[in-house]
Structure 1
Amino acid sequence: MTTKSEIVKTKTVRVYELDDFEKLLKGLRVAACMITESHQVVDEASVMKRLSALTLNGPADGNCCSCCGVGPFETRAQQTAHYKNHWHTHNLKRKLYGKASLTLGQFNSRNDDSSVSGSDSETEGTTANPASDLFAAATRHCKAFYTNHKGKVFCIYRCILHHKKEELSTDGEGYAWVERCQRLAIPGFQRWAILMVSGGHFAGAIFSGAVAVVHKTHHSYVTRRGQGQAQVNRDQHGNAPRSSGASLRRYNQAQFLQHVQDIIAGWIEDLKGCSIILYRAVGSINQSALFGKNSPLTREDMRVRALPFPTRKPTYKEVKRVHETVASVEVYETMELFQKALIASTSRTAIKTGSETNVDRNKKTPKSPIDRAKSRERAPRELPTQIVSSEDEGPCFIDLETPAGWIKTLSEQSANGVITNSRKDLLNDCAIDCSSDSDQENVSERKEHRVKVKKKKNVDDKPVKKAPVKISANVKKMWKLISGKDQNSLETILEGFESAELEAACNTQDPVDGNTALHKAAIAEKPEMVTEILTAGGDPCIRNHALQTPYAASPHNGTRIAFRMFQAQFPEKYNYNKSQIPGPITPEQLEQERDKKAQQKKAKRQREKEKQAEKNKVNKFLQMTDAQKVKADLMMCFLCGSNLTRPPFEYDSYQFCSIKCLQNHRNLRPLHKSA
């Protein structure tokens, strides 16, 4: 672990601070830790010649190694073991590059172990070549390293120098790296765009130097609280939740993607003037917002590059912090300080990774979660003594309110054959004991009378079984016809009933669900049968077992209209207040309502059509260049496309609806020019 004295202090310079940045570029060279030796150019003919020289030229049995000059081998196992030895592998490499082979003593006493991998004497924790380790750490780093004429070393993020698909050469002097770094000092290359999308949050800005010329943030509810991306993953795998909250989330997600793409499409002219477009969008959903079907951005654009470090929630403040971080250049005074800081950071990362692995291995399994909804255990306490009471008044309990003479009175009554241990009776008995002797005689007579009445009730109170309701065959036939799929009339069946039985048959309730014939016709969505049953005497006020009237049980609009039209035709036949029918309606009123709804739908379609036409006109106007907008001579704002006021706000030949649009246009206009 590094102490405070080992921490290397650095100086920070911003790329857009041109005076300080240009001072660093004097005598610019690539740091030595990023440069390797130039590879020796080997043609095909020389390689084939050297390969042919590696054939075995030993005795006739061919059990000698012509590369190392060893042999003959006594057994086949010794020969195979020699070919697997690092000494033989090392000599093969030297032969390929036209060098002489080494003897076994020279191989064991050599100092350069870089060309041989995995020697037996090396361990995993030791490094034989610190220079190669420093080169590996520098080339894997997210920053590039440079030196200047004063010997200072400074670090610049690679994402502002080149795209990850561009492979800049690290051989020779690294002229390509120097050219990319010097290009940052040109004023046109100071225009960067930063876009961030995460969890329904969008934040983006276009910077010209240190100033944010355009910026925008947007948030939408696309992730349910406590769910994270779980429901989004379920949607993608065909197991989408069907709750109202999930439906709202999916709708907001589609609207969020469309809104972000509209924002980027509005910045298309500004993005053309940017030299770098940095983004942060983890996951396919977030990336589809930036690189979707209708987005002007594509991953193939070499200006579009991902941020090399993690970020926080996308906000305008975070976008400014990211821009400042990417534009920061760390400056070390000497190469020794830089190497010390680089190796220390690499070792800290390795130690941190190893410690996290050990912690994960030694982590104990978590205990079962505590169920907060479960009721807490109450402190045990003594329960009152239960005494079985009479059937009509339930059990009695002995507690603090029980009179002292209750047990004695209870035992006397049990001995006399009077089984009444009700709380009310026993309290009265105790009160009787405390009263005068003259009153006790009257009370005892009342008590005997009460006991006789209770005994009589116990004898007479026997459960009475209700006889099953008999339903005639004609009624069952009528119900079957109503519940069937056919739309036949009920005239034939209704004529089969006598005048006295017709009304009773229509109002007979089914013992299963309590539905009458009118209920069944309303549920079956048969308005003609509803009218016939109402005319025959079917009462619309009868309720079934679910406490529904026939009108309330009907889910069909046409059936409910049949009830209302019958009420308008026969307003005095039934008590419609109890039937839950909202009111009568005539055929003329019904036709007027239908015409009114049709006109409303037609007007709505016309408004939507006009709105879409106006939107297309505005989009077409906004896609024009400023010169084309001037020639079009339309009374529309040159920035947002809204209708202009009288008189409009102007500068040069451009017209705007507000001062804010005019200022934004003046700030954006320099970005349209090329670098």
Structure 2
Amino acid sequence: MASKTEFVRSRIVKTYDLDEIEKLIKDAKVAHIMLTDPTPVVDEESVMTRLSALTLRSSDGMSCSCCGVGPFTNRAQQTAHYKHHWHTHNLKRKLFGRKPISLGEYNYRQDESSNVSASDSEGEDNPNTTATELFAAATRHCKAFYSNPKGQVFCIYRCLLHHRKEEMSLDGEGHVWSRRVKELLSPGFGRWAVLMVSGGHFAGCIFTGGSDAIHKTLHSYTTRRGQGMAQSTRDQTGNAPKSAGASLRRYNQEQFLAHVQNILVGWNDDLKGCSLVFYRAVGAVNQAAIFGKPSPLRKEDPRVRQLPFPTRKPTFKEVKRVFQTLASIEVYDSLQDFQKALLSLSGGKLPVKTNSDVSIAERAKKAQKPPAKVFDRAKSRERAPRELPTQVTSSEDEGPCYIDSETPADWIKTLSEQSTNGVITNSRKDLLNDCVVPSCVESDSESETVEKKEMKKKKKSKKVEDKTSVTSIKKGPPKIPANLRKMWRTIMDKDYTTLDTIIESWEGDIQAACNIQDPIDGNTALHKAAIAAKPEMVTQILSAGGDPCIKNHGLQTPYAATPHQDTRIAFRLFQAQHPDKYNYSKSQIPGPVTAEQLEQEKEKKAQQKKAKRQREKERQIDKLKAAKFLQLPDEKKKKVPEEEQRCFLCGNQLPKVPFEYDDCKFCQVPCLHSHRKIRPLNMSV
């Protein structure tokens, strides 16, 4: 019997970890299961010469020169030999330049192959089946397998090593495989591009050394919700719908293709520097978005390769997952672990040694397991018989009282005594607890003990409250040094803008003083300077050791507490100048900025304002021209040059093909209809 394969975990090494990769692929060789014998080169001349050699040697023509058999006694025996599989096998060997084999050797090979196939069908422990399954799993796998002198086996995706049209396994010794895996260490190999298009979604990213350098996502409404089919695919079925939604989806499909191609054209220089470009685009429409005419990518490019595994909807998160999967190299510590993992993925089984008698006995024990208990769920469970309570009517209490085996003795008497004494309980459980002992004197003593316990608990709680109040009075708020209070007053004063004199004359640890929190609101000196909108003080406190990650009672950092733009820029400028001084990830500062970047942003905003003023000026001029044009009668409007023609009703610019009637031009159909209704009134006037 074959045992089930165990799941073996592997160690993951990323391709951009060059130090780990260099140790892993040093003197690495491709696994033998990746290699096949090179196909013999058969040209026309060699085939013709070998065919000419296949002639009948005997004069009577009753022998076979290919198999070396003859002469035959009759024509029927010769025909039967030519129809035999042995002759066909020898004929193929002769064509490929190999020697023929005898009939006994041919029968031996046939018997051997039949035994192997029979053992495969039985599923018993046979090493040939394991080798066959290993070879089949390796040849069908999307990864290539290598081994190094340390005994480790590592797997890498084939698409990183060669294009799918390259026949890599024809190399008998694996030199090409070894050379390709060493290209992982070549400079510039770690720059990859991943592009995905599906269902109106586009996601692309260019990775450099494990980090994303450029990325872009795009979505357009091209697929009808709930139908699962793009509009272009629906139109190809023969009956194209004419609804408004279908027209919108067709327009969005064209715009989507144009946008994706424009993105790739903008990435032209970056794509040229990529060593590999991976894509996922199923269908002609999606492939047209990546390999269309304006796009710089072509399918014939050896760098462009398909993703070897299924993916989800194209998003930036999915693109990063795909990149991390491609860059992962699985490393197994031994060949046995690798075989277990490979066969577990392919559904194969590893052989188990069955030589010992102990294993046979263990199998017999496992086979003779006791049968499991069968539960009849349809059969209801038998309930234990329960004594019904008896109904008794008491004189003191209105209504019936139910008594069963659990009711204590003299319960009715106790209830009547409690009711006469003014002690009335609301539940039967309380009465049962009180009536465990039948005598009333003992019940009174128990109530007294309960009251004593409650009094002790109250005294203990009072003592705890007194202790807590005393400790709170003793502790009190922490004392703030006078020089620190002076610093805070200087920061909040409007007349002061710097802290040079205070910092220079400070006695003690200035860093600890800057990080002391105000007990009222929890603000530090940096909080107060940020709230007071004093950028210069913020820079001085940060230089002195003020931590920008401390939060006040409102859970705000100094950067989040200030609403002033100049103060926030001061934080970002300090981060750019001192990137390693604080843990800025906890300070809520969005990122560093330099003075040059600020100047560029100012120039950009100035240009935007200038362009906006120019557009506003042009809009005003256009309004004046439209008003002047509308003051003219229709006859004079027709005589205006075509360059200055406008809509006869609203005065807007005309489209390339205006709407006309009776030499009157309009920008849209509603203007034409309105003018047609107003014109008879004007003509009558």
- Give the TM-score normalised by structure 1: 0.48
- Give the TM-score normalised by structure 2: 0.48
